[in-house]
């Protein structure tokens, strides 16, 4: 496997998320009692403090909340500067961090807060598929 960037350690309560990524599904934790989605995965609902949580399959759609262009990075990412990081407002609620695809890091003024994005997964090792988000908004062009 040629993936040289950090691979997340897997927690004890986040396995449904990682299992989902293997099948190309974005799984999100939702509270059975208050029905709200939260991210990152908790042992307890951060909204109503219920411990009655479930996993749902998300649409994989979202929008850019904000972004930045990284010129300093370490490890495997150091070879990829500049790259664009972004916080994604998930269609189902709450927010996820990502490295954005389908944008030109040299033209940050062309990246639009609010642009539509779609999740995709990259295999990093036998058991890890990492979610990344791609701009699908027509006005962004493609790369």
Binding site for other proteins (CB under 8 A): 5-14, 38-47, 49, 51, 65-74, 77, 80, 82-83, 85-87, 95-99, 108, 113, 124, 130
Task: Give the torsion sign (CA, 35, 40, 43, 48).
Answer: negative
Interstrand relation of 95-101 and 61-70 (parallel, antiparallel or unpaired): unpaired
Contact 79, 108 (CB under 8 A): no
Pick between residue 37 and residue 68 the one whose CB is nearest to other proteins: 68
Pick between residue 23 and residue 97 the one whose CB is nearest to other proteins: 97
CB of 138 to other proteins, least distance (A): 20
CB of 108 to other proteins, least distance (A): 5
CB of 52 to other proteins, least distance (A): 11
Pick between residue 23 and residue 113 the one whose CB is nearest to other proteins: 113
Contact 45, 37 (CB under 8 A): no
Helix (H, G, I), strand (E, B) or coil at 77: helix
Q: List b or e across 103-133, with b for residues whose CB sees 16 or more CB atoms inside 10 angstroms.
A: bebeeeeebeeebbbbbbbeebeeebbbbbb
Pick between residue 40 and residue 127 the one whose CB is nearest to other proteins: 40
CB of 20 to other proteins, least distance (A): 13
């Amino acid at each position: 496997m040629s993936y040289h960037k950090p691979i997340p350690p897997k927690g004890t309560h986040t396995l449904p998320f990682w299992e989902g990524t293997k099948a190309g599904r974005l799984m999100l934790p939702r509270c059975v009692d208050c029905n709200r989605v939260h991210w990152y995965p908790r042992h307890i609902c951060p909204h109503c403090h219920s411990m009655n949580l479930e996993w749902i399959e998300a649409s994989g759609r979202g929008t850019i909340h904000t972004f930045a262009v990284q010129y300093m990075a370490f490890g495997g990412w150091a070879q990829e500067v500049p790259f664009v990081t972004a916080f994604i407002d998930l269609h189902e609620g709450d927010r996820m961090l990502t490295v954005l695809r389908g944008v030109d890091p040299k033209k940050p003024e062309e990246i639009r807060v609010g642009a539509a994005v779609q999740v995709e997964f990259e295999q990093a090792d036998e058991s890890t598929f990492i979610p990344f988000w791609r701009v699908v908004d027509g006005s962004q062009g493609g790369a």
